Structure 1
Amino acid sequence: MNPRVRVLLADDEHLIRGALAALLALEDDLVVVAEAATGPEALAMARAHRPDVAVLDLQMPGADGVTVATHLRDELPGCRSLIVTSHGLPGHLKRALTAGVRGFVPKTVSARRLAEIIRTVHAGNRYVDPELAADAISAGDSPLTAREAEVLALAEDGAPVAEIAARASLSPGTVRNYLSSAVSKLGAENRHSAARLAREKGWV
């Protein structure tokens, strides 16, 4: 008999995480060895329990699923990551694949189907939800540089240039240049609409 696949579940919605753990426990070949509600907690649990597959919510407090997956790839190469999300934006998918994530699925997936995908990922294969993959292909690549995306994300809540400059460790003039470039590339009216558009695409 093959050893059971050891699974880490990380989701800040306790009801969803608990229900998923209970349903996966019904699978003979899977065992949930740890649960987490935040990004840092997911990393700590992974280091302590060394799961075979980490099922990570995309958006968690402290660190998102892709950031956690990046750390796991470097620290625990034997652990494969699978992202589940209710916000399957094209930019998120591309960032996840770049980070070495082996699976990317919407939260609407059934527990039985998720169990099958966990097995697929554990076997060394990749699974990306077909609709999310099609959306990512049609959206194209982000035109923004990493710095432009960073500055645009900081501008999203309406922060003044001086505050953005301080948070990004840049001069106000450099921040204005990055914002101007991002607005131009996205064909937006101003930095606020540019930030909104980039967020909708998953580019920030």
Structure 2
Amino acid sequence: MSSGPIRVLLADDEHLIRGALAALLALEDDLEIVAEAASGPEALAMARAHRPDVAVLDLQMPGADGVRVAAGLRDEVPGCRTLIVTGHGRPGHLKRALSAGVRGFVPKTLSAEQLAQIIRTVHEGGRHVDPELAADAISAGDSPLSAREAELLELAADGAPVAEIARKAALTQGTVRNYLSAATAKLGAGNRHAAVRMARERGWI
């Protein structure tokens, strides 16, 4: 491991938060902000270009969420460790994050000093998962949805019509209806909109 500062990528679509965080973390002698990004695809591009040691990723970003970015980084920039910061830590997100190789999962209520310490922990090969988020994940249990059911519910989340969901998922409309009906039945919801709400509350999508 190099003796220079820990090279950090910050990705958050809220410019004010990202700017404030960059300024505060830059005050730490052993941290250097080498790149900033405002979306998932931009975070991946910046990581490829700058090869940071640690990527601090907001969970919800346009283009690709923090978990998808982390999975991409694991394949494309394997030397970069990932840490997810979230304002809404739903249990299913934590499970997805850990399976994508994320080393840290923390709420946005953290102070900059705490975040700096967690960046160091993650850089040294350790893990840090917020205890409350971990407890919520355990109590929520595992999702009954298949990966495809969860994917289609997520596409239905903004009220998109079946035709549009079918186009995005490259499936027939009948197949989409079958998956959405199965997901709705598994969750015991009255309709697909209620199913989306339930799945989101439990962090399954």
Same fold by TM (over 0.5)? yes
Q: In structure 1, how many angstroms separate the alpha carbons of the residues matched to 2:157 and 2:28?
A: 43
Quote the residue 2:80 is aligned against. Answer: 79
Letter in structure 2 aligned against 1:164: I
Residue 146 (1) aligns with residue 147 (2) = yes
Indicate the SS of the match to 1:109: coil
Quote the residue 2:53 is aligned against. Answer: 52
Give the CA deviation at 1:162: 3.0
Quote the residue 2:3 is aligned against. Answer: 2
Letter in structure 1 aligned against 2:54: V
Q: In structure 2, how many angstroms separate the alpha carbons of the residues matched to 1:36 and 1:160?
A: 32
Quote the residue 1:200 is aligned against. Answer: 201
Give the CA deviation at 1:161: 2.6
Quote the residue 2:34 is aligned against. Answer: 33
Deviations, residues 153-190 of structure 1 (Å, cap 9, x unaligned):
22223333333223222222222221111111111111
Letter in structure 2 aligned against 1:112: E
Indicate the SS of the match to 1:2: coil
Q: In structure 2, how many angstroms separate the alpha carbons of the residues matched to 1:97 and 1:50?
A: 21
Identity %: 80
Stretch deviating more after TM superposition (114-123 or 31-40) = 31-40
Give the CA deviation at 1:48: 1.2
Give the CA deviation at 1:147: 0.9
Residue 188 (1) aligns with residue 166 (2) = no
Q: In structure 2, how many angstroms separate the alpha carbons of the residues matched to 1:93 and 1:109?
A: 17
**Structure 1 gap ranges (5+):** none
Letter in structure 1 aligned against 2:101: G
Letter in structure 2 aligned against 1:4: P
Deviations, residues 79-106 of structure 1 (Å, cap 9, x unaligned):
0000001010011111111100000000
Letter in structure 2 aligned against 1:63: A
So what's the TM-score if we normalise by structure 1? 0.96
Q: In structure 2, how many angstroms separate the alpha carbons of the residues matched to 1:38 and 1:162?
A: 27
Give the CA deviation at 1:111: 0.4
Q: In structure 2, how many angstroms separate the alpha carbons of the residues matched to 1:47 and 1:101?
A: 17
Quote the residue 1:128 is aligned against. Answer: 129
